[in-house]
Amino acid sequence: MADVRDMEVPIASESAHSAESGGAMKELLDRPYIDRHVGLDFFVMIIMGVVLGLLSIPYCAGVEDIPKLWLKAFGPAGFIDADLEISGHLGVGQGAPVWILLCWGFCTAVGILKAVMKLDKYPSFIDELKHQHVDPMVNLKVVICCIASLGAGAVMGLEAGLGSVGAAFGFLLWKGVEKVLPSTNETAADQRRRAYILAGLAGAFGTIFPAPVVSVILVSEIATAGTERHTPEGEFMAGRRLPKKVIFYLVPVAVSAFVMRWAETKHQTIHSYYGYGYDNLSVFLGVGLGIIAAVAVTFFLIVGAIIKAIFTMLGAPLERRLGLAARQAGGA
């Protein structure tokens, strides 16, 4: 399937040094994109960012407060105050065995929910970034399961759910805009659709990242990842880039979403660690923490693989007898 990367103009190519094409400077310039559609699209991008910023407020608050409710009910006294704010830190041995049962029960319910909605396999937001293909109904199911998973205490981020919202919203906006001011041809309509989906993802990520530029860079980098293989070997600036027209749309979406997200938030979640000064030893501290994180991830991967292998061996005879494949319904 073709993707938005087919729209790209390589920064450097064989024709970049050709006198007939105008030289390298001409190849560095992008194709002109200002037309009668751009004004409407730019306005819609701002509206998209505003809506995504507003939608992220209840989404983020909900998935953060639901676990606090059962932590307040079953956790140590005073750990969660009346305003659902964490007022202390958990020490060693201060957890509760019932938490294991709660996470297991909630995550099992989420697994059953996924089975009921037939959502065993679905594209991640990385796939949507790389291919710009969206099914709004599938994205709606993903959002529901993400909210349920985060509410159950699953260790995961906000990106999957918000990314699904942004991609689907961009796709639906594209369909509406095409009815108001249609593209000149099918190719332009397809490129416009891909730009809207990428813009929706940039707006969604702009609500959770510390700065809008981070969202723009992330979307641009992932959308163009893998294009290095299309360039000649030894090329200095390998790979392709998104057209300036797409970047022109990503910026207002990310900025407006970021502004709406934090302008309507009463307090900002700025950790006290951010106030620490930077010195010459900070780089070694960062490297050390990175090594510790890598070791921890490797350990959990090994443990997970061992557990999976054990249960696969135990379940194989039962699957052969029943003639049915096992379904993962939950975990803790």
Distance CA 332, CA 102 (A): 9
Q: CB–CB of 12/237 below 8 Å?
A: yes
Q: How many CA atoms lie within 13 A of 192 on its CB side?
A: 26
Burial pattern 121-136, b for ≥16 Cβ within 10 A else e, equals ebbebeebbbbbebee
pLDDT at 257: 92
What confidence score (pLDDT) does residue 3 get? 43
Q: Give the angle 52-58-59 at the CA atoms, nearest 5°.
A: 70
Partners of 80 in beta bridges: 86
In the block, residue with structure tokens 């065995």: 97
What pLDDT sits at residue 10? Answer: 33
Phi, psi (rounded to 5 degrees) for 148: -65, -40
Six-digit token string for 156: 């995961």
Return the pLDDT at 125.
76
Task: Give the start-end residues of each E strand in the chain.
Answer: none
pLDDT in tens, the chain (332 residues): 444 444 433 322 333 333 344 444 444 455 555 667 788 888 999 999 999 999 988 888 878 777 777 777 777 777 777 766 776 666 666 667 777 788 788 888 888 888 888 887 777 777 777 778 888 888 888 888 888 888 777 777 788 888 889 999 999 999 999 888 888 888 888 888 888 999 999 999 999 888 888 889 888 888 876 655 555 555 444 445 677 778 888 999 999 999 988 876 655 555 565 566 777 888 888 899 999 999 999 999 999 889 888 878 877 777 677 666 655 554 44
Residues across the chain: 332
- From CA 302, how far away is CA 309, in angstroms rounded? 11
Count of CA atoms in the C-beta half-sphere (13 A) of 248: 13
Domain ranges of the chain: 4-25+37-83+95-267, 283-327
Q: At what angle do helices 136-151 and 98-116 cross, to 10 degrees?
A: 170
Spatial contact of 70 and 102, defined as CB atoms under 8 Å apart:
yes
- The whole-model pTM stands at 0.71
pLDDT score of 328: 57
| CA–CA dist 92, 215 (Å, integer) | 37
CATH architecture of 4-25+37-83+95-267: Orthogonal Bundle (1.10)
Q: What is the pLDDT of residue 247?
A: 84
Q: Tell me how many degrees the CA angle 122-125-129 measures, rounded to the nearest 5.
A: 120
